[in-house]
Structure 1
């Protein structure tokens, strides 16, 4: 009774042997086809070149039979030597898949009899385990094992054989003289005495593409000429775009057969209506009919000018950007598009895409741009819109012949937002302890991208009326520095009082209204003069120090409450 594991290993090797054998046969048959095709082509070409008599053709026929016989003998001989036993095949697999680590080769050292009866020094369990381990690794790498015999060479040989055979067959079919030579060589006994044949030369035929044509001005075109029953060395393309003068261009030969050839000439950009034909010298001068290429113009944008009317609050001088299209402007800018086309236009439309910066979660999103029609005056169109967000626009046009523009370009709109004003409290910059007779200096810097409309300081003793100081000498200044000297003595403060102060800024946004910024509230804590002196001198008695700490804790709590 055989082991399933052993049978599985044998079946795997059997499949691999069959695959190798098939690939080997395929490769040898491909070599045979290549050699056979080249042999027939060579002998046919030799027969065509030598033009032998009937006896000479018979000799070549005998030589071809001998050669074909030798090729068949070699094919049979090579196929007969293709034998491989399991151990050689396993060794081949191990060489190509090192990860098997000799498991497959080692497992084949034992037979089914060894599994049943055992073997000197080796237990039945070890043999069974060895087979199972080899089978498991073969299954893990099943795909690699099944494809270890490379098929690329065999398939490449098959493809080469098919290509060679196809080329040889095409040569015979495309050349009557070569086909006749092969026919004579295939059965020379049917050759009769030569008969004088008068060859009738066919007329030369010329075909030209694309012939008559209408196309967009500036596009490219390739002129193709096919000549049948002749293969001229050179062929000229004659072009006329002014109704007076002809200019010649030599066409390139792309390919040729036994009695025909193809020529081409590429024109990268045609700018004028053109008449053309081809001519060459072969059995006299040969010419094609004349053809006409008529050009038309699709609507195209030649220039876009932008007239920028900036919001008044920015105090930016209005400008005109010529030959532009993209724009980077403050929000609220009114833009006039002045579009120049290459021809008179019937209708033109400015199409907007949604803003790239649109936020789906935004509570009050800005309204999207609406498409607008250009007001046309000949080949110039005008339209006006106000920039309120980022976006993209493109312009499409239709002329009076209903020709429409193709692939309009995208132009970008970048809206610069008005940022809130900024302030910096340079001095003191934090809460501070002061004495009742002290003078406190406040220094503040403020700025805005387009100008300030408000810059004030508000301070007061906690519980008393506020004092407001306006630091803005005039409206719309972009950078302002303010300073204020607070005389605590004039405020009649006593130890334990707090002086609070804060700053207010606003810009001059004329679209959505000024953006206001209010600073944090800062405190000046009034402490006794002797306490300041004691702290400066390094502290006093234990009870006084304890009392001072208690007062400080209470003051800090009060500051937090006030904030």
Structure 2
């Protein structure tokens, strides 16, 4: 009961304690606030540090309040004092509360009887307790007084906090600091560098202080940022120099700094920061022409775009800051000013029409006149709107009967669609007739069209002429319709009664002459007239523009001169004619030729090509008249040797007809060896495919590496706890961002290559897929710029997967269906054979250790048993793979399937697996000698299996020695180009390696020459090109050739082997003469300054009809007969080739340029030759099959790319000694290893063996060997 009375008094006690506590807090707060206020002046004067003082006062005030709270908590512990206050507030208690407390104390004081109070005592306590229930004793201290104390405490505390805040922010003024330290600084004469300065944002800064005395003590560099944060760096002394220094790795904002020692403080210095203007991101908006039917497109974050000519390109440049001006500067000084973009504040933009490839350098100038340090290059490449491609199927010069139906075919395709495709022909002297074969062909779609010309419906008569060509219309770059025409072909209507009789051939030499010399002369003149027509048609097609080219006057003059020469020959022929009808034909022909000459001269005078069609009509009329002079009956002789240069195309067509006759004379079955032309369209397309494959493989690998590093950094970023760790991770993310941007740029380069005209047809779908992949690469780059590692990793993974899918597709496209499988089978067999060789060596060692058995011998035995077990498993897997490949290749590659099946069957018959099992069992039981005997046939069987798989692989993959030889040649040139650049830039860098490089290159050349000689020895049973068989007469010098471009003897062009000339220009005996024709009579081209008729006639029957562009080629005139000039067929500069041309006229481009290092601008690392140099190294990578050699070539190329990036980014020359060590030397080592591999592979094939002779009997081999040794010694 007494305790319950005390409980009723506790609320009163708590109120009194709170009242006292808040008043004490108010008092303490006022005291400390006053003290802090007085220290503010000292902080401004620099006598005290404001922050330190504020922290000290704050901690002292807090400690005082805590002590006060504890003291207050233990006060008011005597209940009588509280009872006194209650009695005063409630007088009606009449001292009952005091009495109750006294009685309770007495009762609690009796320990022997805790319950000793009587009735009266209990009643007094009960009445006091009942009073507390009736009245609120807590009101003894009124609530207003309590709230006043609390309010005063809060106000005082707030004042204290405010004063401490002012003291915290109080800093010494510059004047006070200077006044405070001026005397000390003057006395010590300390030099602080760099003092007040301005540096570029993000660069490092070194601050030093030089003291007059070497005894400095500890010095602190105090840096204060604009936000008030402070950073202290301990300055270090350099040895015994009186200089201390501090280093800031990166300065990102303005700050002040000072140097402090124990007894000295420097004045405050200010570091301002600035930024050079730079490009953060550039977007390209493409507004395609209407005829392309392509939607407008925006490519984000790119510095190079490819678009069809006529596209409106809008470059949008996002910058790091406001600039005063920006402009795009072209290579030739063209300047395009950039203007602020209305849709993107802070960005600059410009727009221009794209008609030619443009390379701009972005120049930025800010308000202070600073230019961007590393101007980026923006490239806009034009994809030309090429004319439709006409691939002719059945088009050729022909001889037809009046009742024949002439089948003609064409395949047409265009990148942006074809409006119309058709056929035009003229018959006799009738006007030209146009036939539309197809309309509205979609973009990229191929259409094969066929048409029959019924000569009977045309009422054809013998000796009439049908001239025809195909054409296609599309929309040109100017938006107008454009017509593209093929070559012109001729169909001559022959007589029904042409008779071919077999005559007796002469003993040797050429066949007997025909019976009609006049007809032959007319035929030759007709061939000349046909060449003039073709040349005129070529000029008409090339002069489609409104303004004629600069070559037109010269071409027109050559045409007129050629026609005049033909007229002179006609007049000479007319003088020998006596037949009236023939003379009438000659008069009509002469009239047509004179008409053609007059129209050609008029076109030259007017400098216009408008009159050329009428001139060509007159030329065709003259040609038709010449056909009527030909003889119609021939006595023929069967021959199958090379076509002589004087043989006309008409005679060649008749020869083809004669070949169909069954003549009694025996065929000459000896064929003439021909050299395959290098760099055919198929080979160039394969090279482009390999280049794209190599780039896709590299992009996939680099994206995979970036994703791995990004995943590691993401995990590290999540686990980072300190600010320093996060900053380091962010710096690594910045480096990854730069690598991702480089990957994006190279993706753009690959996309540009795939969209080029030569690849657009075959890689259109892949190009669209690459655009989608590029978007993922761009998203990864953008996420890295925002330091969002998770999003960047997600986009990077998608890009990696798509790169790998494209890589796999291109790998299947570049290689045959079973190439990779065969390579793997051969590699597995080689590894199986090598392991078996090692097992055989180990068995020899085990057998030799029988005399001294021990633990080591037992371990070797178990190791061999394990290896034998692995060999059996590998052999089983290899045979299973062979069986699967046989099933898959049975239809597609029957030769491969047969070879693999034979090898599989022989391997089963050899019982290699059983012998390996027996070897293992015998070895386990301790029969080492018997185990070795069983192992030897197993090893021989595995070796035979390896050899058989190599033969099968060679049937599919071809001879790898030739690929290695080509790779070695490329490496020679690559190393030479790089060494030349190093020598030009830093002669000391590779001085020590020059001699070794020259020796290795000379050795490489000797090795290649030896391998070529060996190859020629292997082929000695075949005739060389142009060599005559014994008993055959060499072609006469007067014969003409349809020479290939690489065989034309142009200035600076080397002759082919076997064509060396003696003094005076006469060919050596037994070798092909200059100008000797090809066996198949390939048609000649026409070059400037060369006359139609100088070469032999075109072989119409050998034409494939493909509408390919004409290229200049050259043929020689060996006869002394003067012939008129003809016009060139080359096109004006800058004009694209016209499709639809005859095959055989396209100039061979002939390999890679070997003159890249001759010009400093074409240097492989610092010049424009880097891309070609890198592409050739990629070719080497694809030529070699060894994975180690491939990876080494890839590493060299990666290092070269890194050097190139640094050169472009920093505009500085590379460290040539590092280039020599990291690129040039490994490249020479790679070339050496490729050479060794070539020698190893060619050693067996290049061994000298007798040809067409029986082998030397074994009993005479020693004698024969001694005989050859004596011959070699000169005895």
The TM-score normalised by the length of structure 1 is: 0.51
Confirm or deny that 1:467 pairs with 2:433. Answer: yes
Change in CA separation of 1:274 and 1:450 when aligned onto 2, cut-off 3 Å: same
Confirm or deny that 1:277 pairs with 2:243. Answer: no
Deviation by residue 1:227-278 (Cα, 9 ceiling, x = unmatched): 2223347644333336444333344434534xxx123334343112223233
Aligned with residue 349 of structure 1, among 326, 331, 337 = 326
Counterpart contact for 1:461–1:498, Cα < 8 Å? yes
Q: Give 1:307 shift.
A: 1.0
Q: What's 1:301 paired with?
A: 279
Counterpart contact for 2:465–2:493, Cα < 8 Å? yes
Q: What's 2:310 paired with?
A: 332
Task: Give secondary structure in 2 for the equivalent of 1:473.
Answer: strand
Task: Give secondary structure in 1 for the equivalent of 2:416.
Answer: strand
Counterpart contact for 2:331–2:360, Cα < 8 Å? no
Change in CA separation of 1:335 and 1:521 when aligned onto 2, cut-off 3 Å: closer
Q: What's 1:116 paired with?
A: none
Change in CA separation of 1:389 and 1:494 when aligned onto 2, cut-off 3 Å: closer
Q: What's 1:430 paired with?
A: 396
Q: What's 1:374 paired with?
A: 340
Task: Give secondary structure in 2 for the equivalent of 1:313.
Answer: helix
Counterpart contact for 1:438–1:488, Cα < 8 Å? yes
Task: Give secondary structure in 2 for the equivalent of 1:490.
Answer: coil
Aligned with residue 378 of structure 2, among 407, 411, 414 = 411
Confirm or deny that 1:215 pairs with 2:182. Answer: no
Q: What's 1:384 paired with?
A: 351
Q: Give 1:444 shift.
A: 1.6
Q: What's 1:59 paired with?
A: none
In the TM superposition, 1:391-540 aligns within 5 A as 391-397=358-364, 402=368, 404-407=370-373, 408-427=375-394, 429-474=395-440, 477-478=443-444, 479-511=446-478, 513-531=480-498, 534-535=499-500, 538=502
Counterpart contact for 2:277–2:365, Cα < 8 Å? yes
CA distance in 1, matches of 2:272, 2:312: 43
Counterpart contact for 1:354–1:369, Cα < 8 Å? no
Change in CA separation of 1:239 and 1:474 when aligned onto 2, cut-off 3 Å: same
In the TM superposition, 1:128-277 aligns within 5 A as 206-232=190-216, 235-241=219-225, 243-254=227-238, 256-257=240-241, 261-277=242-258
Counterpart contact for 2:205–2:248, Cα < 8 Å? yes
CA distance in 2, matches of 1:435, 1:550: 23
Counterpart contact for 1:298–1:403, Cα < 8 Å? no
Deviation by residue 1:288-332 (Cα, 9 ceiling, x = unmatched): 333322324454332221111122223333211212233332222
CA distance in 1, matches of 2:478, 2:296: 17
Change in CA separation of 1:454 and 1:306 when aligned onto 2, cut-off 3 Å: same
Change in CA separation of 1:456 and 1:316 when aligned onto 2, cut-off 3 Å: same
Larger helix fraction of residues: 2
Deviation by residue 1:65-84 (Cα, 9 ceiling, x = unmatched): xxxxxxxxxxxxxxxxxxxx
Counterpart contact for 2:309–2:382, Cα < 8 Å? yes
In the TM superposition, 1:11-30 aligns within 5 A as none
Counterpart contact for 1:396–1:404, Cα < 8 Å? no
Counterpart contact for 2:282–2:303, Cα < 8 Å? yes
Aligned with residue 301 of structure 2, among 323, 337, 343 = 323
Q: Give 1:419 shift.
A: 3.0
Q: Give 1:369 shift.
A: 6.0
Q: Give 1:558 shift.
A: 4.7
Q: What's the RMSD between the two structures over aligned residues?
A: 3.6
CA distance in 2, matches of 1:549, 1:501: 30
Counterpart contact for 2:406–2:453, Cα < 8 Å? yes
CA distance in 1, matches of 2:240, 2:221: 18
Counterpart contact for 2:417–2:440, Cα < 8 Å? no
CA distance in 1, matches of 2:398, 2:315: 58
Counterpart contact for 2:337–2:350, Cα < 8 Å? no
Larger strand fraction of residues: 1
Q: Give 1:520 shift.
A: 3.0
CA distance in 1, matches of 2:431, 2:189: 110
Unaligned runs of 5+ in 2: 1-185, 505-512, 531-618, 624-1275
Change in CA separation of 1:516 and 1:216 when aligned onto 2, cut-off 3 Å: same
CA distance in 2, matches of 1:449, 1:342: 40
Deviation by residue 1:326-357 (Cα, 9 ceiling, x = unmatched): 33322222122222223345x4332432559x
Q: What's 1:310 paired with?
A: 288
Change in CA separation of 1:538 and 1:340 when aligned onto 2, cut-off 3 Å: same
CA distance in 1, matches of 2:428, 2:322: 75
The TM-score normalised by the length of structure 2 is: 0.24
Change in CA separation of 1:390 and 1:530 when aligned onto 2, cut-off 3 Å: same
Change in CA separation of 1:352 and 1:512 when aligned onto 2, cut-off 3 Å: farther
Unaligned runs of 5+ in 1: 1-201, 357-367
Counterpart contact for 1:432–1:524, Cα < 8 Å? yes
In the TM superposition, 1:23-102 aligns within 5 A as none
